[in-house]
Structure 1
Amino acid sequence: MSVARSVILGCGSALPSHVITNDDLSRRIDTSDEWIQQRTGIRERRIAAEGEFTSTFGIAAARVAMAQAGVAPDDIDLVILATSTPDNTFPATAVTLQAELGIRRGAAFDLQAVCSGFVYGLTVADSLLKTGQGTRALVVGSETFSRLLDWEDRTTCVLFGDGAGAVVLEAQRGQGAASDRGVLACRLRSDGRHKEKLFVDGGPSTTGTVGHLRMEGREVFKHAVAMITDVIEDVFAQTGLGADDIDWFVPHQANRRIIDLSAQKLGIAPEKVVVTVDRHGNTSAASIPLALDVAVRDGRIKPGDLVLLEAMGGGFTWGAVLVRW
């Protein structure tokens, strides 16, 4: 039976040029390269410069993705930007991307699910394309998390970085089989009872300020692996596929220990796991598309490969997407 599939035509990424290493941080706060690497696997991260914004990197990543996909601005019907760090309270930063990219059709909006934002964005785009709301969608994850950090808090400021990644999706007809190209299954979850474990202590309607990121690191770590594996098992059940079928596992790049434990619990071989957290840190909604772009450009991810994406973020939110490249 013929079914609609959302096929990824191209991807792209963009990073700030300014690199901050662990040694750089150790000269500002009480920490060390050994302490950070042992607990997180992070060696360095990129930080936006003055005059660089979430839109700056989102636009750059989108241009690369559109070029790789071979599409023009008039070919895009939908722009979804996953971000927790918009340029302005309103309008949506997605409309800035839309305007700067020369896209004149369809709709553009921001989506906020913190580190799960890209997985949520892919799922929403897939649903809209399947219901005929457009033919092609641009899904971008872009963040300037450095603007939310308390640079005196060594437990959080060492973890995050800035950057963006993007993909172009196109609705195509498939046979309804697991061998089809495109998004095969999605699963999203959230549980607001855990809000206080990872949040920003400000906002327009509460303090009138941006606020700073606050996190109970041990609590987040404790919940992460169980929640991640839960939604992954759901997408396996939807498709009849399993860990042995996966060619590449592209998880949210938050912490190397969480990534390794998740893969181990699922039975995914270490050589199938794409890891960029050492170079990028946690870039929230940008982390999965950044990692995807790295693995596509270095030749690991190839057409026909089965790719598993997963993320967990503040809220808590979490989700997984299974896609045939």
Structure 2
Amino acid sequence: MALVGCGSGVPSASVSNEDLSRRVDTSDGWIRSRTGIGARRVSGPGEPLTALATQAAAAALAHAGWRAEDLDLILLATSSPDDLFGTAPLVQGQLGAVNAVAFDLTAACSGFLFALITAGQYIAAGSVRRALVIGADQLSRWVDWDDRGTCVLFGDGAGAVAVEACAPEATGLLGFRMRSDGSRNACLTLAQTDEQQPLLDGLTSQRGGFAAIQMNGQEVYKFAVREVPAILAELLESTGTAPAELDWLLLHQANQRILDAVAERFAVPRERVLSNLAAYGNTSAATIPLMLDEAVRDGRVQPGQLLGSSGFGAGLSWGAALLRWSGPGAATSPEA
């Protein structure tokens, strides 16, 4: 599987730390010192998740030089769909990707990495030739804007990566690991509300709805700084890769202190740790592809470079992948 195109889509409105300080008891210094976040994008009227995901997908298609009808698969990693029955088909319809099967995959902040690995397995099995993997979330819908412990963290956005079949020696997915631990689920939740409605005499039914995001920030931080370096170390050892061989660390953008801790563990210089937290905050499943697109477009990430990537978050779930960016036109397999 070669990674041959990328794109992104973000809301037009940016909410700064100073803006938030007019709503809750916080400050730019307080937020930056604890998270590294300076602003976040927040969706407004006419900016549903489908629109952001479609914008990112269309940009990735254009970057790869593909037509929408060339697609075989669209995977949308999201925990905040416009339609609980599935938002990926809406994206497929808006793109005009008439030959692609499309479905959602939910794994919160690990979602994009899990979806990318899933697409890789379809391609390796020979059942899919070209796929779009999209990470998109709109957690501003589910934030309690009066809770300064969570409202400062999350933003909205979408990123997409185009992947296609290639010769084995040109693969962009050199190895991966995935983990889940449901016993720690309560650390970070967007849970269904327990509201009942009358149905018949003596019988009620549950009314659909979800509560605001709840998070034990200290426990999530401890989980991330322990598990992310461990799973990356396991992956690097299994692939025979030394940390010094990595051109970039491409991690889920949750907290700058987490990024710094992982970099320190592997002695990766700060300038080789990709970070756009200051401008976007935590966009959940969108953070990795959004960051990749930015770094490819500005020339930091070049074809052939090696990236150590990790997604982690609610579930709890986490994973790691060793990726090589190929760039447009890089696939060499006769099937591609």
Aligned residue for 1:290?
290
Query: What is the distance in 1 between the residues matched to 2:68 and 2:79?
Result: 25
Is contact 2:249–2:274 with CA below 8 Å preserved after alignment?
yes
Query: What is the distance in 1 between the residues matched to 2:118 and 2:93?
Result: 21
RMSD of aligned Cα (Å): 1.3
Aligned residue for 1:220?
220
Identity of aligned residues (%): 45
Aligned residue for 1:68?
63
**Secondary structure class of the residue paired with 2:165:** strand
Aligned residue for 2:50?
55
2:155 to 151, 158, 161: 161
Query: Which residues of 2 match residues 179-258 of structure 1 at below 5 A?
Result: 180-202=170-192, 208-258=208-258
Q: Mean alpha-carbon deviation: is it higher for 117-126 or for 47-56?
A: 47-56
Following superposition, the deviation at residue 312 of structure 1 comes to: 0.6
What TM-score comes out, normalization by structure 1 length? 0.94
Following superposition, the deviation at residue 28 of structure 1 comes to: 0.6
Query: What is the distance in 2 between the residues matched to 1:224 and 1:206?
Result: 35
Query: What is the distance in 1 between the residues matched to 2:311 and 2:122?
Result: 21
Query: What is the distance in 1 between the residues matched to 2:316 and 2:213?
Result: 14
> After superposition, what is the alpha-carbon deviation per residue over 1:32-57, rounded to whole angstroms, capped at 9, x for unaligned?
11110010000000000023111110
1:16 to 2, 11, 19: 11
**Secondary structure class of the residue paired with 2:150:** coil
**Secondary structure class of the residue paired with 1:155:** helix
**Following superposition, which runs of at least 4 residues in structure 1 exceed 4 angstroms of deviation?**
203-207
Query: What is the distance in 2 between the residues matched to 1:224 and 1:127?
Result: 26
Is contact 2:69–2:100 with CA below 8 Å preserved after alignment?
no
Is contact 1:148–1:213 with CA below 8 Å preserved after alignment?
yes
> After superposition, what is the alpha-carbon deviation per residue over 1:192-217, rounded to whole angstroms, capped at 9, x for unaligned?
01110000132699762122100000
Is contact 2:156–2:283 with CA below 8 Å preserved after alignment?
yes
1:139 aligns with 2:133: yes
Counterpart amino acid of residue 183 in structure 2: R
Query: What is the distance in 1 between the residues matched to 2:238 and 2:72?
Result: 28
Counterpart amino acid of residue 301 in structure 1: V
Counterpart amino acid of residue 210 in structure 2: V
What TM-score comes out, normalization by structure 2 length? 0.91
Is contact 2:73–2:130 with CA below 8 Å preserved after alignment?
yes
Counterpart amino acid of residue 146 in structure 1: S
**Secondary structure class of the residue paired with 1:141:** strand
Structure 1 segments unaligned to the other structure (5+ residues): 1-5
Aligned residue for 1:317?
317
Structure 2 segments unaligned to the other structure (5+ residues): 195-204, 326-336
Counterpart amino acid of residue 86 in structure 1: P
**Secondary structure class of the residue paired with 2:161:** strand
Aligned residue for 1:264?
264
